[in-house]
Structure 1
Amino acid sequence: MDADVFDRALLAELRRDGRATFEALAAAVGLSRPAVTARMRRLLDSGLVTIVGVVHPSVFGLTAYAHLGLTIEGPVSPVADTLAEFPEIPFLSAVAGRFSLIAEVRSADQAALAATVRRVAGLPGVRRVETGVYTEIRKDTHFPPGPYEQSPIDDADRGLLAHLRRDGRASFAELAEGVGLSTSAARSRVLRLLESGAVHVGAKVNASAWGAPVLTGFEVTLGGDPAPVVAVLEGLEQIEYLATVVGRTDLIGTAVTYDAHETLKLLEDVRAMPGVLGLEAWTHLDVRKERY
């Protein structure tokens, strides 16, 4: 399935606001409402694009996050099979590069995070674990953008969040019916959840849908204030994930590109940025788990 400039513009808008009206989307991408409606239907019917609600991990009591680079001695698959069963690990991928596996950990607190890292390091076949503890997740389709203003969440809110995780564009009437509220009550609750940052509704895209088979992870070592580099990277279309960390490096990111030449150019551009002292990259070969 090929994507043209209008599809990509539409997806960019849907990533920002998956519940945007057809009128707002049409105005943003410069097409008519019927044209946007037809493109939306085609994208969604393909099964390669979904509109989902992404709930802030703090809603589930998860406040400590880390990125693990694992070096494995022997075959990778047995270790990956074991790690995939860890509920604290929502993302796991076999990669090519210095690491054998990449994993993300989300825990209740720093003590629980440290305990999980120790469990991972103690598994048979794990030779080394290099950890980057997140200080801020700046860009991630599986993490709501902006701050989360914590407020009490009741059973009705949890029901609405569960429905939005399945279908981010469900109507207020459908959401209300699902949790036993009036449409107006469901609307006010959903708007409150969206405004507080408890949930973000956006487009989730399978990169292979656009002929973009190159999924590249990278880490950047900086020599000063990370803010200028972060500002540039989070504005790049190819960067789908970016976090500041402490530990083995300063920034960790993921890029989706359409061929090896685009990947190389992106990495070279990052290396040339003022303040960048070093960059190391790896290629994702097999995403074994992605369950947020």
Structure 2
Amino acid sequence: MTQFELDDTDQALLAEVRRDGRATYEALSLALGLSRPAARARLQRLLDAQVLSIAGVVHPSVFGLAAYAHVAVAVDGPVLPVAEQVCAMRDAVYVSAVAGRFPLVAELRSADHDALADAVRRIAALPGVREARTAVYTEILQHAHFPPGPYQPAAIDDTDRALLERLQRDGRTPFAELGAAVGLSTSATRTRVLRLLESGAVHIGALVQPDALGATRMCGFQLTLDGQLADKALAAVRDLREVEYLASSIGRCDAIGTAASPSADGELRFLETLRAVPGVRSVESWAHLRLLKEDYSPAAAVSRRVGDGTSVLD
């Protein structure tokens, strides 16, 4: 993907649509100090260049998923045959081959902790797996595919699910078009979507492609924290511009994260900054070599086949 240069106005626009992907062009124009046509053109240019997409991110609890974990897998022999088996698991929403102490990492999302434990046991029992080390998430602090606000459980019917499915594909789909698809009036559709947004069932925002902005190197990291400074340390790490993902955890570490950097030097600078954060006692990192699966939909399926040569930078 060609690197895209963003100016200050583009950066401000990204911040606005990350907060509210359905912000009107009038609201965007006021926030940016532009005319409505200029705001529309700016956003369309970023969409056309595939710098970002605007989509609804549905809270996993809506799908009955309430327990999440990161699993690092030690393997005897080639890793890809093991990875293919992990990719086939519905609980595995993210699977990546990496360079590090463990050659394979996965994120699991399960209905409850019993189901999560069963998924970990199934990974540990796969042929070729020597060890599966687990970090159970206590809170997801930053993630493009996880709504940023609290979720207030509410009844979700088939019409709501149909709306959520369409918003996942295009978060800026007009209310009239959504209504026509599910058999509701525009006003009834607006009411439903606003209710889903207010409950935290879905967040509509911009999903940014790091490689389009020159951040072509992805590294994962796990942290051991000073218990008394843990909250401040996590807040400081979350605010680092390179951090794409961060979760607090219990188990093999106190936090798990992913960062995007433009180069090996940039990656080193980030890790040095991370090590210097007050409250961070130790950092272990790994380089993502090939993203094998990333699918946060309710019916998780293998989204990228293991042997097709797809890399994390494609």
Alignment of 1:1-12 (within 5 A): 1-5=3-7, 6-12=9-15
- Residues 7 and 72 of structure 1: is their aligned pair in 2 closer, same or farther, counting only changes over 3 Å? farther
Alignment of 1:98-137 (within 5 A): 98-137=101-140
Aligned residues: 292
Which one-letter code corresponds to 2:237 in the other structure? Answer: L
2:255 paired with 1:251: yes
> d(CA) in 2 for partners of 1:36 and 1:76?
47
- The residue that corresponds to 2:72 in the other structure is 69
Alignment of 1:149-228 (within 5 A): 149-225=152-228, 226-228=230-232
In structure 1, runs of 5+ residues without a counterpart are none
- The residue that corresponds to 2:94 in the other structure is 91
> d(CA) in 1 for partners of 2:27 and 2:223?
37
Q: How far did residue 47 of structure 1 move? A: 3.5
Bigger drift between 104-113 and 264-273 goes to 264-273
Q: How far did residue 30 of structure 1 move? A: 4.4
> d(CA) in 2 for partners of 1:30 and 1:117?
51
Task: Map Cα deviations across residues 240-269 of structure 1 (whole Å, 9 max, x no partner).
Answer: 111000000001111112222222122111
> d(CA) in 2 for partners of 1:37 and 1:153?
33
Q: How far did residue 23 of structure 1 move? A: 2.7
Task: Map Cα deviations across residues 78-116 of structure 1 (whole Å, 9 max, x no partner).
Answer: 111111111110100111111101100000000000000
Which one-letter code corresponds to 1:189 in the other structure? Answer: R
Of 261, 265, 278, 1:261 maps to 265
What secondary structure is seen at the aligned counterpart in 2 of 1:242? strand
What secondary structure is seen at the aligned counterpart in 1 of 2:4? coil
Task: Map Cα deviations across residues 189-219 of structure 1 (whole Å, 9 max, x no partner).
Answer: 1001001100011112222212211111111
What secondary structure is seen at the aligned counterpart in 2 of 1:165? helix
Task: Map Cα deviations across residues 123-181 of structure 1 (whole Å, 9 max, x no partner).
Answer: 01111111000000011001111110001001111111011011100011111111101
How high is the TM-score relative to the length of structure 2? 0.89
> d(CA) in 1 for partners of 2:128 and 2:34?
54
Which one-letter code corresponds to 1:13 in the other structure? Answer: E
What secondary structure is seen at the aligned counterpart in 2 of 1:90? strand
Bigger drift between 50-59 and 15-24 goes to 15-24
What secondary structure is seen at the aligned counterpart in 2 of 1:94? strand
> d(CA) in 2 for partners of 1:12 and 1:120?
39
2:142 paired with 1:143: no
- The residue that corresponds to 1:270 in the other structure is 274
> d(CA) in 2 for partners of 1:108 and 1:284?
27
In structure 2, runs of 5+ residues without a counterpart are 297-314
> d(CA) in 2 for partners of 1:126 and 1:27?
55
> d(CA) in 1 for partners of 2:31 and 2:123?
46
Cα RMSD (Å): 1.4
Bigger drift between 253-262 and 20-29 goes to 20-29
> d(CA) in 2 for partners of 1:16 and 1:97?
34
Which one-letter code corresponds to 2:210 in the other structure? Answer: A
- The residue that corresponds to 2:301 in the other structure is none
2:63 paired with 1:60: yes
Runs of 4+ more than 6 Å apart = none
How high is the TM-score relative to the length of structure 1? 0.96
> d(CA) in 2 for partners of 1:76 and 1:27?
52
> d(CA) in 2 for partners of 1:10 and 1:263?
26
Bigger drift between 187-196 and 198-207 goes to 198-207
